[in-house]
Structure 1
Amino acid sequence: MIDSVTAPVAQPFAIQLKGLTDLEGRCQPKLGGLRLIESAQDNGLRMTARLREMEVKDLLSLTRFFGFSSETFSLAVSMLDRFLSVMKIQPKHLSCVGLCCFYIAIKSSEEEKNVPLANDLIRISQNRFTVSDMIRMEKIIMQKLYWKVKAPTALHFLRLFHGHMQEHLDAESKKILSLERLEALLKACHCSFIFTKIKPSLLALALLCFEAEEEYDPELTHNISEILTSLKLQLNIKDGDLVCVQELVGKCVVEYATAKCSKPNSQRLRWTISGRTARQLKHSYYKIAHLPTIPESAC
């Protein structure tokens, strides 16, 4: 049975926060596995940080193409990072792993009527494995994650913090922190490997702090700063850690603002075929190549 993380609106903020933070530490990607990926040479033989970032950007393109929610994308990235941190996979299997994590996230987060067929997802993503490959890979992923699909993500914390702040701000201050923009910034962060090692709650708080500091009117940001300080104390986050992550967020924003960079929400990442074309694709449109068996050797 697939587990789930729920945060009912009816529950007080403190209870919701405790529920997420209690699970957060147990659902983090394994640091040792992430370090192996980070230190790997980009020679085509081992998983690297660059390959992981490219795969996440592809998943973001698919999310935009199908119109899926931010929750689906964040959940897919969470599962991908957790799986990669406990399994040594070859680069040629990454697209299958990524698409399977994405498909599991779709089935967990989207309405059943919006879930595409696995074969259509393979063809539209222009991959060259089969539905049987996906079924086998899904089973491996679920087993290695102990069927814990809906782990707390930075999006969970971001929405919880934002909702809590909106309840305590005046009308003018509420306009400063746009949830839509915050979620767009989070997507950019998801595309950078460096954020895989940061707790979701810390990343969410850093995003809010970064956005608040972008507003230069101290009268408007005073109340926001007080609430952010209160959240920092509740989460027991050190000032140095928050400042460090906030700086990383700032660098990420600058990077994705440059013309030379593949921005997560830019025109360059829109899928290259229309929905109508995708629906008319023939099953024989792509030459299917079966993947060799994936060794289940843990990190």
Structure 2
Amino acid sequence: MGDVDLMCTEAECPRRAYEDPVLLNDNRVLQNLLALEDRYHPNQNYFRCVQTDIKPYMRQMVGQWMLEVCDEQACEEEVFPLSMNYLDRFLSVCDISRTRLQLLGACSMFVASKLKDTSPISAERLVIYTDHSISYTMLTDMESLLLSKLKWDLSAVTPHDFLEQILSRLSMDKCHRDVIKKHAQTFIALCATDCKFMMYPPSMIAAGSVGAAIHGLSNDPQLDVKLLRKLHEITGIEMDCLRGCQEQIEQTLAVNLSNMSETVETSSSKMDHTPSAHQQHTSHNEHLKEQPTTPTDVQDIIFR
């Protein structure tokens, strides 16, 4: 009997579970998701009915910060939409001050990453991401409050849950499906940060994101019509509603891209006035040293 190698070798990155054809092809799974999604839909009027200090732009600012944190930590795609669901459901039932909004956002990511991520974000890391504006104790206390207000009902239905269900029912090869899925995931994250998408149920956002992704890659009017019909068959959502959601996503994307372009042009214009490339490089490095390595602009909401 030969020697047995007992050395444990770990993979560099965590391995994901394979797609389960039973879960993807059984219509009962999709119908259960459609039946449950309203249960986890937050009150879109909580800014007027519940919150006395939180405004929509504050939620958007915190949402963008949360998205940056999830990106930097390479979280699973499910983490960010789920954390935004926790944040909105909490704000739908509990009035808090604007000074605690970033704490709530950090706590929502903390809980969502525990549930969905193979390598959850640590409490210590989240404290650093807030530039130490919160403490470990504050985070764990908020976690207890969040769980209480959500009644420990954490397995919320999000647009991401519908994504594979929709894509598996569309006729396309795996290569194209992976590309469309990646684009759709980006659109879902975009919708999660924008308050106007709170009126749409998760299934509609997922379908609209898939439609926007395919439209952006093909730009074929005939294909768009066929796709709308197919998405209607899959989700049962009226075609006019699907079309409206998709157009809203495309408009929001166009606005964001335009804002990014203006920011780049402004930065380029400022760089043109620097004395030399060497001085520019030196100044840029000094600026980086002065800035925190994590996004903390969200704290500006306190002073607005």
TM-score w.r.t. structure 2 length?
Answer: 0.72
Is 1:135 the counterpart of 2:148? The answer is: no
Using a 3 Å threshold, how does the CA distance of structure 1 residues 87 and 9 change in structure 2: closer, same or farther?
farther
| CA RMSD between the two structures | 2.9
What is residue 283 of structure 1 aligned with on the other side?
Answer: none
Contact 1:210–1:250 (CA under 8 A) maintained in structure 2:
yes
Structure 2 counterpart SS, 1:201: helix
- Quick one: which amino acid aligns to residue 211 of structure 2? C
Q: 2:63 aligns with which of 56, 68, 76?
A: 56
Residues 171, 124 of structure 1: alpha-carbon distance in 2 compared, 3 angstrom cutoff: closer
Query: Which runs of no fewer than 5 residues in structure 2 stay unpaired?
Result: 1-18, 264-287, 295-304
**Residues 174-185 of structure 1 correspond to what in structure 2 (within 5 A)?**
174=176, 178-185=180-187
- Residue equivalent to 2:22: 10
Identify unmatched segments of 5+ residues in structure 1. 1-6, 264-271, 279-299
Given candidates 62, 66, 87, the residue that maps to 2:73 is 66
Q: Give TM-score scaled by structure 1 length.
A: 0.73
The answer as to 2:174 corresponding to 1:163 is: no
Alignment correspondent of 1:198? 200
* SS of 2:155 mapped into structure 1: coil
1:243-264 per-position Cα deviation (integer Å, ceiling 9, x unaligned): 221221111110111145899x
- From 216, 219, 222, the equivalent of 2:219 is 216
Higher relative contact order structure (alpha carbons within 8 Å, sequence separation ≥ 6): 1
Larger radius of gyration: 2
Aligned residues: 247
Higher helix fraction: Structure 1 or Structure 2? 2
Task: Supply the AA of the counterpart residue of 1:101.
Answer: S
User: CA separation in 1, counterparts of 2:99 and 2:111?
Assistant: 20
Q: State the Cα distance separating 1:10 from its structure 2 match.
A: 2.0
Q: Indicate conservation of the 8 Å contact 1:76/1:104, yes or no.
A: yes
Q: What displacement does 1:229 show?
A: 1.6
Report the counterpart of residue 295 of structure 1 in structure 2: none
Match of 2:44 in 1: 31
State percent identity of aligned pairs.
Answer: 21
Match for residue 240 of structure 1?
240
Instruction: Give 1:105's aligned residue.
Output: 112
Counterpart mapping for 1:87-98 below 5 A: 87-98=94-105
Structure 2 CA distance for aligned equivalents of residues 59 and 170 of structure 1: 33
Q: For 1:121 and 1:15, how far apart are their aligned partners in 2?
A: 38
Cα distance in 2, alignment partners of residues 70 and 156 from structure 1 = 11
Question: How far off is 1:78 after superposition?
Answer: 1.2
Measured in 2, the distance between the counterparts of 1:244 and 1:228 equals 11
